[in-house]
Amino acid sequence: MRSVRTAVVLGLFLAGAAMAQAPTYQPVGSVRQLMLGIVKPNSDIIFSVPGKPPKTDEDWAAVQNAALILAETGNLLMMPGRAKDNGEWMKDVKDFQGNSAASFKFANAKDAKTLEDLGDRLEETCETCHGKYLPK
């Protein structure tokens, strides 16, 4: 009996400690604000690569930064308070994040052709999600 009580107390203590250490996040902007202020301007940079391929290191840095920002924005879109559901929303955001992370990788490799293909996939991912979640 004593060992059961000790195990319960220990379990409660460990659970409390884990909860105390969990970071808290506070969303500031809405999903719409993230889309208009972060996703749109940075995705436009990726989408412009086919028509205006980066030439200078400064051009490539802009594409790299845009892709990185998009990939990290995936984390913001999965936060509690922003995630619309744990099913399709999360799948769509993870697809968006994966395509953005791949864009970052190929921007760092200065591979404009692969970036063009990834831009197409990124756009398809956005349109799929918008078809489900963008208010009419």
Rounded distance, CA 15 to CA 7, Å?
12
Which tokens hold the place of 130?
């918008």
Rounded distance, CA 98 to CA 110, Å?
18
User: Phi and psi dihedrals of 24, rounded to 5?
Assistant: -110, 140
Is 129 in contact with 92 (CB distance < 8 Å)? yes
Residue 21 lies inside a defined structural domain of this protein? no
Residue 86 lies inside a defined structural domain of this protein? yes
Residue 8 lies inside a defined structural domain of this protein? no
Residue 46 lies inside a defined structural domain of this protein? yes
CA angle (78 as vertex; 103, 20 as ends), nearest 5: 125
Residue 7 lies inside a defined structural domain of this protein? no
Q: How many CB atoms lie within 10 A of CB 36?
A: 12
pTM: 0.82
User: Phi and psi dihedrals of 86, rounded to 5?
Assistant: -100, 10
Count of the separate structural domains present in the chain: 1
Write out the residue range of the structural domain in which residue 69 sits.
27-133
Residue 36 lies inside a defined structural domain of this protein? yes
Which tokens hold the place of 91?
């799948």
Directed axis angle between helix 40-47 and helix 57-77, to 10°? 140
- In tens digits, the chain (136 residues) has pLDDT values of 666 666 555 565 566 655 557 678 888 999 999 999 999 999 999 999 999 999 999 999 999 999 999 999 999 999 999 999 999 999 999 999 999 999 999 999 999 999 999 999 999 999 999 999 998 7
Residue 10 lies inside a defined structural domain of this protein? no
- Residue 46's CATH number: 1.20.120
Rounded distance, CA 108 to CA 97, Å?
16
Residue 11 lies inside a defined structural domain of this protein? no
